[in-house]
Amino acid sequence: MSIKKYLISGISMLLLFGITVACGGETKVVSEANGDKVVNVYSARHYDIDEKIYSNFTESTGIKVNVITGKAPEVLGRLKSEGADTSADIFITADIANLYQAVQADIVMPINSDMITKIVPKRLRGENNEWIALTQRARIIAYDNKKVDPSTLSTYYALTGDEFKGKILIRSSESTYNQSLLASIIAETSEEEAKEWAAGMVLNMAREPKGNDRDQVKAVAAGEGEIAILNTYYIGRMLNSDDPEEVKAAEAITVFFPENTQMNISGASMIKYSKNQENAIKLLEYLVSPEVQTLYTDFNYEYPVNPDVLPNEILSSFGEYSLQDVSLVDVGENNRKAIEIFGQVGWK
């Protein structure tokens, strides 16, 4: 099915514009010693809608959300170095690999909330609720809808076939998205088969890996390759971009869900040294509520984790998919092996 641009629902527009920005870019972190109600978030998410969500939470509860943002390695590094002296209450990031690193560093604690346990499916929570998913992102195949016959597409594994030589576009091995994809293939098959897949992908690449997921779409539109692997939410954002070139590029591709599609997440953990635990739980519960889940899907084109919330129109237009039967915990545990395999096969 070709991708068409959709308007954001009127309901979500009302929700959005009822929110005022209160904490965007704020770096001040405090405890409640001064009498203020606060929660301190260290976040590797960088979307405008998140700021508006935090502002709305403050308006509703009187709890101020202080946010420090950065790339995931920077935020994790700061949390590790601060240790027990940290002011952070919550760590929010994209990709299970980053959440798993926080668990391995022993800087998080179980999230004790009956509401969250009831709402968020077990497969989207850590073994002991050390992390929870906030949103989901499918890693899909996107193809040039003028050059590729979709009947030739099937699985991630099939992309290593000779018919796809010189046609594949994908970002570098430094991308945690790709690390988690390969880690999921290890969990689904074996290290040996995952290595064969990665080596086959390198042989079929149209160019050396570079850029982000948006850049892969643009490269397909520019004729540099015919097939890209990327996360679904990038397509939604491009279709509704203010940049007409991004819209044009996104309209040139079509989404294909491979058999057993890998579904990654963005998620949150509660820091074991949190000084505002009650407020942290309230914020986490709010983030999985229908109100916020609707904003995540309508404005950032991510799949909801709350089963009562439907994906927005763009995501729904992509069609149905079957999920890879792999534990996210196993994906996190296989991250290091995935990085090693990338190095062995020359995936730059």
Distance CA 55, CA 39 (A): 12
3-state helix, strand, coil split of the chain in percent (to 5) is 45, 15, 35
The owner of tokens 């984790």 is 305
User: Cβ(153)–Cβ(141) under 8 Å?
Assistant: yes
Distance CA 254, CA 145 (A): 6
Residue type, 38: V
Sign (positive or negative) of CA dihedral 211, 213, 214, 218 = positive
Distance CA 281, CA 284 (A): 5
Distance CA 164, CA 204 (A): 6
Beta bridge partners of 269: 91
pLDDT value for 8:
41
pLDDT value for 333:
94
80: exposed, middle or buried (C-beta count within 10 Å: 0-12, 13-18, 19+)?
Answer: middle
Distance CA 99, CA 94 (A): 8
Distance CA 100, CA 118 (A): 22
pLDDT value for 96:
95
pLDDT value for 71:
95
pTM over 0.85: yes
User: Cβ(246)–Cβ(235) under 8 Å?
Assistant: no
Domains and CATH numbers, the chain: 10-136+265-317 (3.40.190.10), 138-262+320-345 (3.40.190.10)
Pick out the chain residues at pLDDT < 50: 1-34
Among 222, 288, 255, 297, smallest CA distance to 12 is for 297
pLDDT value for 21:
34
pLDDT value for 76:
96
Cα 340 to the chain's mean position, in Å?
22
- Strand 108-109 to 227-231 pairing: unpaired
pLDDT value for 36:
74
Among 345, 326, 332, 321, smallest CA distance to 187 is for 326
- Strand 38-43 to 64-69 pairing: parallel
Q: How many CA atoms lie within 13 A of 269 on its CB side?
A: 31
Beta bridge partners of 4: none
Q: What is the DSSP letter of 230?
A: E
Q: Which tens digit of pLDDT belongs to each residue from 121-179? A: 999 999 999 999 999 999 999 999 999 999 999 999 999 999 999 999 999 999 999 99
Among 125, 183, 185, smallest CA distance to 160 is for 185
- Beta-sheet strands, E only, within the chain: 38-43, 64-69, 90-94, 108-109, 132-144, 168-169, 227-231, 253-256, 262-271, 303-304
Q: What are phi and psi of 148, to 5 degrees?
A: -110, 130
Q: Say which residues have a Cβ less than 8 Å from residue 34's Cβ, sequence separation at least 6.
A: none
